[in-house]
A = this chain, B = another copy of it.
Amino acid sequence: MKKIILLIIINLTGVLGFAQENLSTKYDLMPWPKDIKEHPNKFVIDSSLTISITSNQSERVEHAATQFLRRLTNRTGVFLNEGFPLENKKGDIQIQFDEVSKLDIKNNESYTLTVEDSTIKISAKTDIGATRALATLLQLVDHNATEYFIPGVTISDEPRFVWRGLMIDVSRHFQPIDVLKRNLDAMASMKMNVFHWHLTDDQGIRIESKTYPKLTALASDGLFYTHEQIKDVVAYADRLGIRVIPEIDVPGHATAFLTAYPELGSKDDYDYSIERFSGVFDPTLNPTIDITYTFLENLFAEITPLFPDEYFHIGGDENEGKHWDESKSIQKFKKKHGLKTNHDLQTYFNVKLEKILNKQGKKLMGWDEIMTPDMPTSAVIHSWRGENEGLAKGGTLIEAAKQGYQTVLSNGFYIDRMQSVAYHYTIEPIGDVKLTNAERERILGGEATMWCELATPLTIDSRIWPRTAAIAERFWSPKEINNVDNMRTRLEVVSFNLEELGLAHIKNRAVILRGMTNHQDISSLLSLSNLCEPLKIYARNLDGIEYKTYSPFNLFADACVADASDALKFNKAVSKFTKGGASTSVANYLQKWTNDYKAFSQLQKNPKITPLEPLFKNLALVSELLSEAIQTKKISKESIQTIGNTMILLREPVADVELMIVDALNDLSQYCESNYSSK
């Protein structure tokens, strides 16, 4: 795969050598394709543009081609004469594929794409490959002052991993159908192909059950998907070439199940009720009684026909076994069956579940706790634990593959932890580990996981995107594509195009700030929000006691995102300046924040924005002193001391956010002290 790094670009006038880096500053492609060659053609977009499909009918390609035309029209403003693929005529954009694919793990997604002056040719083994090509083609659209065009390139592309997923937890906060659909659109635009639907948890059962209607009546708060809606989402995903894997999380995370059917619980006379907090809770299904298995067998029998995919996720995580330890009958059962530990008991449970699922034509998948010595290798291991959970860095992926399990990686891709895109992007699933072909094949790929304790329909998009686009690249592109700065440049454009596609990750930030200010001018708060990030790694919800499911999630922290944009820019500017660069950018920022605070001061206060006052004031104070120092090339001892004292305050989290420029301000202060200090 080394050929990816040093591409040979052939054009009509000769042979040129370009590093991938050169090309990837020129094209805003993501995930970066396996191979791209440039040639001096240019396909100009005008109203006569047409598209045709010269293969068997595929709803996927029909849909993708029509959507391509819609998005092209919207992006360019060109009034197309033809709004649909041509029938029985060749268009300017010609799509050919060999077969309409069954959507499964063996699916071929490769394609080639050639842009000439008046023709664009897309060729693929499967219709899904053809839709991937159209996603690439839309990313190639470029413009100058007078026209939109697609530059001449030839791209050959295929994914590195077969499993490139996004999990969405709809239990902690219910996510309506339109939220799921727009995220599926976004996934497809990033060539992701697995939607893992976390449908049950302590906070609610989100899938309608007709077999066990109390699940819907008592354990959903009225927030659930009907069978029709599930079929609709599955069909929508299928059209985008996305498989849907349901997760029914058992035996732990079962509070909602037991609210409806307490007789399945491990603890007698326990008052189960839908959990409103976040965390890991005790209620657990009782694996020692027959009715548990009857229940699950019937429930699975009801659910599995809705999900055509072979894989079925049973969760299996974070069962701490407290209620098992407290139950005499369960202790007795363990002894009787020679089950020494709770892990053994859970394996007993998992093995029974696997048999049930196998009967129903499904393959059992579970979080990596299910990987115990007695668990058959026919199960699929979803690797999520790693250093944070006291295991090795990189999680249990390699171990699972070596032991013979198919496996999928999520350790390192917990996007709800609000870590930087660089953190996720630089996680290499396999690295230099030596694997046999069979072991390598068992590593299916990975999934970004969006747990929704802190994410509502208003904010979920900004928690998933744009970072997940970079994760999609990690799973699709050759591993040598790993330059963080380059990725960030492309990601900026990707993020904007995701808004064009209908995502709400940008616009809803302004909605939150307008709401916070009672619709006063939000520019000062927007500026502050571009310097702050929500507390990371669950620090926002420490000890699981603060936020309930119905707490407000339209606070300042909810308007902030990972990778605070101005913080990134300022930190770079400081780094350049303190190494001898120009001061302009740094000075402009400092001046801006001083002014922003003045504007903020003039806002009519309310209980939602008042808590930000000290943070903003301290930021302005430090900014003003540093700004003066840079301007005058002088700094007094008093100023240094004031800055030092204020910096301590600025390091403290406020309103569940942290200011992401404290280190840079500190560097700047030290620079001023070293270079400008007087007396």
Binding site for B on A (CB under 8 A): 63, 69-70, 73-80, 83-84, 143-148, 176-178, 221-222, 226, 228-229, 232, 276, 493, 496, 499-500, 506-508, 510-511, 514-516, 518-519, 547-555, 604-608, 610
Contact = CB atoms under 8 A, between A and B. Distances in A.
7 contacts: A73-B551, A74-B554, A83-B548, A83-B549, A143-B606, A148-B606, A177-B177
Contacts of A83: 276, 548-550
Given A177-B178, A515-B500, A552 B73 contact: yes
Contact of A226 (B228, B548, B551): B228
Given A69-B550, A147-B607, 11 more contacts: A75-B515, A77-B555, A78-B552, A143-B607, A145-B605, A145-B606, A148-B606, A178-B178, A499-B519, A506-B511, A507-B508
**Main SS at interface, chain A:** loop
Nearest to A608: B77
A506 B496 contact: no
Nearest to A63: B222
A607 B148 contact: yes
Contacts of A143: 518, 606-607
B76 A607 contact: yes
A77 B551 CA distance: 8
Contacts of A232: 226
Nearest to A508: B507
A80 B500 CA distance: 36
A549 B73 CA distance: 12
B499 A518 contact: no
Contact of A607 (B146, B506, B548, B550): B146
B550 A70 contact: yes
The 4 closest A-B pairs by CB, nearest first: A83-B550, A178-B178, A496-B519, A507-B507
Nearest to A47: B551
Contacts of A147: 607
Contacts of A63: 222
Q: Which of A63, A493, A608 has the most CB of B within 10 A?
A: A608
Instruction: State the copy count for this chain.
Output: 2
A334 B622 CA distance: 88
Contacts of A499: 511, 514-515, 519
A496 B221 CA distance: 28
Nearest to A556: B77
A458 to B, nearest CB: 8
A610 B73 CA distance: 17
Contacts of A514: 496, 499, 506
A232 B604 CA distance: 42
A506 B512 CA distance: 12
A554 B76 CA distance: 10
Nearest to A549: B83
A80 B507 contact: no
Q: Which of A74, A80, A143 has the most CB of B within 10 A?
A: A74
Contacts of A84: 221, 550
Contacts of A145: 604-607, 610
A427 B502 CA distance: 37
A371 to B, nearest CB: 38
A258 B83 CA distance: 21
Nearest to A504: B507
Contacts of A74: 515, 552-554
A535 B322 CA distance: 68
A511 B518 contact: no
B549 A77 contact: no
A297 B266 CA distance: 58
A516 B608 CA distance: 33
A506 B604 CA distance: 21
A99 to B, nearest CB: 22
A68 to B, nearest CB: 12
Nearest to A517: B496
Given A550-B69, A555-B77, A507 B500 contact: no
Nearest to A547: B79
Nearest to A148: B607
A436 B80 CA distance: 56
Contact of A80 (B221, B516, B550): B550
Contacts of A610: 145-146
A555 B76 CA distance: 10
Contacts of A515: 74-75, 496, 499-500
A607 B77 contact: yes
A506 B510 CA distance: 10
A388 B451 CA distance: 56
A248 to B, nearest CB: 23
Contacts of A510: 507, 510
Nearest to A546: B79
Contacts of A604: 145
Contacts of A519: 493, 496, 499
Given A146-B607, A496-B519, A610-B146, A551 B177 contact: no
A143 B608 CA distance: 11
A178 B229 CA distance: 13
Nearest to A548: B83
A73 B550 contact: yes
A299 to B, nearest CB: 22
B608 A76 contact: yes
Nearest to A83: B550
Contacts of A555: 77
A663 to B, nearest CB: 28
A73 B581 CA distance: 48
Contacts of A226: 228, 232
A463 to B, nearest CB: 17
Nearest to A495: B519
Contacts of A549: 83
Contact of A551 (B79, B496, B608): B79
A610 to B, nearest CB: 6
A146 B606 CA distance: 6
A289 B512 CA distance: 58
Contacts of A148: 606-607
Nearest to A499: B511
A393 B232 CA distance: 47
